[in-house]
Amino acid sequence: MVNIYMGRESCYAVKEGVYVKPGPMDLGRAAAHLYLHLRDLKLGYTYNHDCVKIRMSRSLFEARCKYLVKLCREQINDEYECSQVEQLVNAVLSNMKLPQWAEELVKQYLVKVTRLI
């Protein structure tokens, strides 16, 4: 099963030319994922784990956003960090946009794929 958003081999890296820096789901990585989730919702499509383009519905958007909190709690032994992730997810679900401070984090955690040839 291929990662959709994170890493050089992810669907996003291959199909869209951008990916989230690999690592445990901390606040910065969650912000970057939320940015891409919002992009997917706006464009109306995303990818499944087979890198097949699928419709990004509101319910899929919400599920993917909430899953970030679960991943944080599974991957990081820091309840404060995960509560920050949860607050960010809730803010995005309420306002349908990233807070300004989170946009700064996105810049640190999103990587553009460069091609030599």
Q: Report the chain's terminal Cα–Cα distance, integer Å.
A: 28
pLDDT above 90 as % of the chain: 94
- 47-73 pLDDT, tens digit each: 999 999 999 999 999 999 999 999 999
DSSP 77-94: --HHHHHHHHHHHHHHHH
Q: 31 is written with which tokens?
A: 């912000």
Which string of b and e fits 61-100 if b means at least 16 CB within 10 Å? beebbeebbebbbeebeeeebbebbbebbeebeeeeebee
In this structure, are residues 91 and 99 in contact, taking their beta carbons and an 8 Å threshold? Answer: yes
- What is the percent of the chain where pLDDT is above 70? 97
Tokens of 101: 């401070």
pTM of the model: 0.95
- Residue 2: per-residue pLDDT: 85
Phi-psi region of 110 (alpha: psi -120 to 50; beta: other; left: phi over 0): beta
pLDDT band at 116 (very low <50, low <70, confident <90, very high): low
The residue that leads in pLDDT, 1 or 36, is 36
Phi, psi of 23 (to 5 degrees): 150, 180
Q: Which residues share a beta bridge with 55?
A: 45
pLDDT in tens, 26-35: 999 999 999 9
Residue 40 has pLDDT above 80, yes or no: yes
